[in-house]
Amino acid sequence: MKKLILNSALLLSLVTSLAAKDLTLLNASYDPTRELYQDINAAFAKDWQQKNGQKIKIKQSHGGSGKQARAVIDGLEADVVTLALAYDVDALHTRGKLIPADWQKRLPHNSSPYTSTINFLVRKGNPKGIKDWDDLIKPGVSVITPNPKTSGGARWNYLAAYGYAWKKYGTEEKAREFVAKLFKNVPILDSGARGSTTTFLQREIGDVLISWENEALLALKEIGKDKVEVVIPSISILAEPPVTLVEKVAKKRGTLAVAKAYLDFLYTEEAQLLAAKNYYRPRSETALKQYAQYFPKVELFTIDEVFGGWNKAQKTHFDDGGLFDAIYLKK
Amino acid sequence: MRLKNMVVVAALLGLHLPTPPLGAEDQAELNRTLLRKIEELQQQVRILQRQDELAKESSAEKVKTAANVSIGAGGFNVQSGDSNFVLKVRGYAQADARFYFDDISPRNDTFLLRRVRPIFEGTVFNKYDYRIMLDFPSSVTTSAGNNGFVQDAYLNARFFPAFQIQVGKFKEPVGLERLQSGGNLLFVERSYPTQLVPNRDVGIQIHGIFLDDVIAYQAGVFNGISDGGSTDFDANDDEKDLAGRIFAHPFKKTSISGLKGLGLGLSGTVGNHEGTLRGYTSPGQQNIFSYLPSVSADGDYWRLSPQFYYYWGPLGIFGEYVFSNAELRRTGSINTIQAQHEGWQLAASYFLTGEDNSFKAVNPKKPFNIGDGGWGAWEISGRVSQINFDSSVFPNFANPATSARRATSWALGLNWHLNRNVKMNLNYENTDFDGGSGSPLLNTGEQILFSRVQFSF
């Protein structure tokens, strides 16, 4: 019987090693990072092969940040997630038990290898004269932003507007009134940031798109300065899109080492330059200097400073029955 | 201004009202207003179009995630929108008639329900397949193990096509005809080699396919059961059997169309058994060989079975040989013998209506439908088979007067597949026996006419 068990184990290991020949990694990310990760994946695959002599294929999955987190919790076998906000990554711990509670401490800069902020994209010549957040609540201004219930980017947009009003007018009541007026000017709520960009640029709806800085700069490059302009508001929010390893999945798929290496790679000078090239604000000073023309200095506030962190912001503003529901349902 | 508004409204409505002539400045203002109104309308139209577009995207997304319920020839299926969860309710029933051509047979001519099998199978979390198949035939009664009722109950984890793990009760991977579904049999009853291999057993098996089914393998550890047996638990000993099979379609990926349907395999079991042994039966399910009550298995038990099939267009041929070795002991004796029985069969069939023959179910080209010109699929078949019992078992382990030394059978059949769900079989089978001089049946042989009506869904 011992011999039989030994033979069975040998057969098992042979079959497993044959089956595990192809090394693949899945990165579940949010909507606007398609171009960024195309570049980073190619660079990492090359780097990994040079260092380890092993070919790797990195697959991408993109969608609204919250939707992606739910998909991973429901069984999408992503080895790593690179989402729009920490609250969505937290859900992988609180609802999915897929990662530890202190996931944000595992990598530098709160596990956000790059940052971004929120600004405006307007039509050429800025026909509605939009210069700052106050201009978005004027009657007759049509504002395009996605649905904060489904889109991470939209939550950053909402919080940027709210934070601006709170800082400028000094009370929460005024801030609420401000965002309520702003959403009265929103004719369509797309489910994700990329959808809103389509609404504004391809379908030619709206006077202003509240957008990730990287998405606005990308649009400027692709659509052209003769059609759109970027407007930098006086105050905006520091958006820190986080990344993390989905340990349970990576362990199961036998990709733990390569998935960790992939995330570490995001902090290398090579990846930081690629982030800057794709209009994400890099953490590296060198990369930031090299691409300084993309990233003008803006007064930025953090989510902790104004809202007391993501959990509190989510509960107050975006949970069912929260402030956004009250504002939007009233509309 | 009021006048201007009236003009704008009239212009938008396409009316031609008698209005006083406008100055150049008023005209320019009017043009600007008209332009703005047109732009506003354009925006409204675009918003409505985009809302419609988003609503359609949302509906398409909902369709993707909505459960899909269907019913058809393959049974009742429920599938989650992402295909990760599937439930299929299927089954089949066989109503047989057996007519013996003499009055010597101890069995009566009878109608019977040979198999009545509801099947529940499906998938959970995309990779985990399950199957529960029950059976309620005429002859089975309740038992402590529910052995007769629970035919299959297993979970199969499909990690990769080449590496899957199956756990539970299912067919041991040995006999070729045994591995064919009871609903797809060429003849009403399986032949002798099937009686020399295990049926269903409880255990764990790894299995898989390579190169798009050019090579398939199975290897597992099971409780271990006697020839033809099926069980839910091991009541006899602590030992376990190892069963394995490798089956190849060596020409499947080649351009030689005439050999693509050739399959060759080798299977076997090895283990150590204790406990009682089963007898063997004729095609008419009459007892033709029994061990004496004092005999039991006690030692090595192994089997080997080379096997093949060949399908080319309407032609199908399959054959298998089984060698079964059992170490036996009589109660009170310290000596054992190695009983070595062997059996083989060669069967062929041909679809007169031109369907492609297969080891699996065949779908008629034109289902039977009066007035519509469809006659279903008609198949003729023939089989020769033999079982040889080891002479060393006589007379101390089996009674030579009541047990055959050899049985040789030939059979002819006609199968009518009315459609994918209904099939009729008509078989005639003749069996001659060597040995068993004290048994009227074994002396005269067996001639039997079988018929079957099978409904599956």
- pLDDT tens for residues A74-92? 889 999 999 998 999 999 9
The answer to whether A170 faces chain B, any CB pair under 8 Å, is: no
Task: Find the closest chain B residue to A141 by CA distance.
Answer: B40
B78 in any annotated domain: no
Q: How far is B362 from chain A (nearest CA, A)?
A: 33
Residues B157 and B22 in one domain: no
pLDDT of A18 higher than 60: no
CATH no. for A2-114+240-294: 3.40.190.10
Q: Is the dihedral of CA A259, A262, A266, A269 positive or negative?
A: positive
Give phi and psi for B23, each to the nearest 5. -75, 170
Instruction: Give the structural domain span for B36.
Output: 2-62
Peptide bond into A108 cis (omega under 30): no
Torsion angles phi and psi, residue A74, rounded to 5: -80, 0
Same domain, B19 and B111: no
Contact B70, B77 (CB under 8 A): yes
Q: Given this model, what pLDDT does residue A10 score?
A: 43
In a domain, B199, yes or no: yes
User: A8, B242: Cβ pair inside 8 Å?
Assistant: yes
Residue in A15, A190, A205 closest to B163 by CB? A15
- Give the pLDDT band (50/70/90) at residue A56: very high
Q: How far apart are CA B342 and CA B389, in angstroms?
A: 7
pLDDT for the residue numbered A17: 43
Find, in chain B, the residue whose alpha carbon is nearest to that of A20: B160
Contact A205 B50 (CB under 8 A): yes
A191: which chain B residues are within 8 Å (Cβ-Cβ)? 54, 58
**A192 and chain B in contact, CB less than 8 A:** no
Report in angstroms the alpha-carbon separations of B218 from A59, B7, B75, B267, B271: 32, 86, 28, 9, 17
Look at residue B191 in the predicted model and tell me its pLDDT: 97
Are B48 and B107 members of one domain? no
pLDDT at A29 > cutoff 50? yes
Q: Least CB-CB distance to A18: which of B49, B126, B162?
A: B162
Contact B364, B420 (CB under 8 A): yes
Q: Cα separation of A257 and B94, whole Å?
A: 56
| Burial of B312 per CB tally in 10 Å (0-12, 13-18, 19+) | middle
Does residue B58 sit in the same domain as residue B99?
no
**pLDDT per residue over A130-141, tens digit each?**
999 999 999 999
- Cβ(B457)–Cβ(B90) below 8 Å: yes
Q: Token match 């599937």: residue?
A: B86
Q: Which of B46, B84, B206 sits opposite A203 (nearest CB)?
A: B46
Work out the widest C-alpha separation in chain B, in whole angstroms: 131
Integer Cα distance of B61 and B56 in angstroms: 8
Which of A11, A142, A195 is facing B43, going by the closest CB pair? Answer: A142
Number of domain units in chain B: 2
Q: Which of A12, A188, A195 comes nearest B206 by C-beta?
A: A12
Check residue B140 and give its pLDDT.
63
With respect to residue B381, please indicate whether it lies within any of the assigned structural domains: yes
Q: What is the pLDDT of residue B12?
A: 53
Q: A206: which chain B residues are within 8 Å (Cβ-Cβ)? A: 43
Q: Which of residues 344-373 of B touch A (CB under 8 A)?
A: none
Of B224, B385, B397, B197, the residue nearest B296 (C-alpha): B397
Domain residue limits, chain A: 2-114+240-294, 117-238+298-330
Q: Can you tell me the distance from the alpha carbon of A224 to that of A206, in angstroms, rounded to the nearest whole number? A: 18
Taking a C-beta distance cutoff of 8 angstroms, is the pair A118, A85 a contact? no
Contacts across the A-B interface (CB distance below 8 Å)? 48
R_g of chain B, CA atoms, integer Å: 34
CA distance A263 to A286: 20
Query: Tens digit of pLDDT per residue, chain B (457 long)?
Result: 444 555 555 555 555 555 667 788 888 888 889 998 898 898 889 999 988 988 888 888 777 778 888 998 888 999 887 778 999 999 999 999 999 987 666 778 899 999 999 999 999 998 999 999 999 888 766 555 566 789 999 999 999 999 999 999 999 999 999 999 999 999 999 999 999 999 999 999 999 999 888 999 999 999 999 898 888 888 788 899 999 999 999 999 999 999 999 999 999 999 999 998 999 999 999 999 999 999 999 999 999 999 999 999 999 999 999 999 999 999 999 899 999 999 999 999 999 999 999 999 999 999 999 888 899 999 999 999 999 999 999 999 999 999 999 999 999 999 999 999 999 999 999 999 999 988 988 999 999 999 999 999 9
| DSSP string across B415-447 | EEE-SSSEEEEEEEEEEEEES-TT-HHHHH-EE
Same domain? For B264 and B413 the reply is yes
CATH number of the domain at B154, please: 2.40.160.10
Report yes or no on B86 lying in a domain: no
Last residue of a domain, one of B41, B62, B83: B62
Residue A9 near chain B (CB below 8 Å): no
B36 and chain A: CB distance < 8 Å anywhere? no
From A146, A149, A156, select the one nearest A118 (Cα to Cα): A156
**Which residues 108-167 in chain A show a CB within 8 A of chain B?**
142
Query: What tokens were used for B392?
Result: 């060393």
Question: Residue A291: pLDDT above 80?
Answer: yes
- pLDDT band at A20, cuts 50/70/90? very low
Name the CATH code of domain A117-238+298-330 (choices 3.40.190.10, 3.90.550.10, 3.10.290.10, 3.40.50.1950). 3.40.190.10
Contact A1 B84 (CB under 8 A): no
Contact A205 B43 (CB under 8 A): yes
Query: Residue B233 — φ and ψ, nearest 5°?
Result: -155, 160
Contact assignment for A8 to B43 by CB distance below 8 Å: no
Contact A183, A146 (CB under 8 A): no
Interchain CB contact of A254 with B (< 8 Å): no
Task: Check residue B16 and give its pLDDT.
Answer: 54
Of A15, A142, A203, the CB nearest to B208: A15
CB–CB of B50 and A75 under 8 A? no
A14 confidence band (pLDDT: 50, 70, 90) = very low
Phi and psi of A250, rounded to 5°? -65, -40
Distance from CA of B333 to the nearest CA of A (A): 27
Write down the pLDDT at residue B17.
Answer: 52
Tokens 């962190």, residue located: A309
Selecting from B50, B84, B242 the residue whose C-beta is nearest the C-beta of A188 gives B50
Packed helices A269-277 and A34-52: angle between N→C axes, nearest 10 degrees: 160
Per DSSP, B398 falls in state B
With CA atoms as reference, report the closest residue to A240 among A155, A115, A154. A115
pTM: 0.63
